[in-house]
Amino acid sequence: MKKINPLVMLIIVILFLASGLIYIVGSGVQSATKLVENGCFMSIPCKGKDIEINISDIAIDWSYKKEDKTIILSGVDDSRIPILVLMKNNHLEWAKKLDVSDCLVNERLENISSIRVVDEEYFRINFLDDIYGEISTIYFDENFNFEVLCFSSM
């Protein structure tokens, strides 16, 4: 039996690994929804708690308007648990308390900063948790309905 040249074997291994990488990158993620279906990777998935609020009773710390919808965050810069709100045509659609203690996390989400929209098409919001110094992400569906908070406490 003929022995294979180590250089040829190395080239075959590199081509095999490269083709696997190309397949993985090429298949990609079609939407944030698909990403959420597969979990939050290394982050902790949190669903938040539905709450009843009067919009005039909360301080608006951050908001983002797109067409007839407005996403609002309240309680981002103090020790209160943040509240996420969706307004449509100036009417309250839903409100969620972003309580991460229900997600097997022993800490509270408080003092968040650097809030920004990171994806206009598949709406996502990133923010920095000032306690952990980690970026967490909130995912929404195509109708701006809350899907999941991927809380990073690494």
Furthest-apart CA atoms within the chain: distance in Å: 82
The reply to whether 29 falls in a domain is no
Give me the phi and psi of 11, to 5 degrees please.
Answer: -65, -40
Instruction: Tell me whether residue 11 is in a domain.
Output: no
**CA 130: distance to chain centroid?**
16
Domain with 84 in it: 34-151
Domain membership of residue 132 (yes or no) is: yes
**pTM, full prediction:** 0.67
CA dihedral (114, 46, 68, 59) positive or negative: negative
Band the pLDDT of 39: cuts 50, 70, 90: low
The structural domain count of the chain equals 1
105 confidence band (pLDDT: 50, 70, 90): low
